[in-house]
């Protein structure tokens, strides 16, 4: 839903800008080919400038939001990995009893003795 509304805003801006440019081209053709005098339509120039500025703002806003979302995703993945890692290595590999951070790091620092597994005090 949110993405659809986003797209419609961009599409609206692009079509509005396209319309203004078409109008500008039409006026320019009218000026040079038909009337041979310059027609001053200030709102047209302002409209095109405002349209371009809005479109640039819109694009940069979408880009920044996408970038923020990407970094959020990466962070979530990292959190998931650490959480699952913690759950599997905070238990005794023999009896499943919960062990403290100290016991866990003690076991993991001695892979030769404990074969990269964590054991509670009773099973060490």
Examine residue 107 and tell whether it contacts Zn ion (CB under 5 A): no
| Smallest distance from Zn ion to CB 10, Å | 59
Query: Applying CB under 5 A, which of residues 45, 95, 108, 110 lies at the interface with Zn ion?
Result: 95
Q: By the 8 A CB rule, do 94 and 123 touch?
A: yes
Examine residue 103 and tell whether it contacts Zn ion (CB under 5 A): no
Neighbour tally for 51: CB within 10 Å: 19
| Smallest distance from Zn ion to CB 99, Å | 8
Toward Zn ion, which CB reaches closer, 14 or 108? 108
Q: Which two tokens stand for residue 1?
A: 């839903």
| The one segment of 18-26, 36-44, 65-73, 94-102 that binds Zn ion by CB under 5 A | 94-102
Examine residue 99 and tell whether it contacts Zn ion (CB under 5 A): no
DSSP of 47-101: HHHHHHHHHHHHHHHHHHHHHHHHHHHHHHHHHHHHHHHHHHHSB-TTT--B--H
Q: Which chain residues interact with Zn ion by CB under 5 A?
A: 92, 94-95, 97, 120, 123
């Amino acid at each position: 839903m949110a993405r659809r509304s986003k797209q419609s805003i961009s599409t609206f801006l692009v079509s509005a800008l396209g319309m203004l440019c078409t109008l500008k081209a039409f006026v320019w053709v009218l000026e040079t080919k038909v009337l041979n005098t310059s027609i001053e339509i200030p709102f047209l120039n302002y409209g095109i400038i405002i349209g371009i500025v809005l479109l640039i703002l819109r694009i940069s806003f979408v880009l920044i939001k996408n970038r923020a979302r990407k970094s959020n995703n990466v962070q979530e993945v990292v959190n998931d990995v650490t959480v699952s890692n913690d759950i599997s290595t905070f238990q005794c590999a023999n009896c499943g009893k919960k062990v403290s951070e100290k016991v866990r790091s003690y076991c993991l620092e001695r892979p030769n003795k404990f074969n990269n597994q964590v054991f509670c005090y009773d099973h060490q």
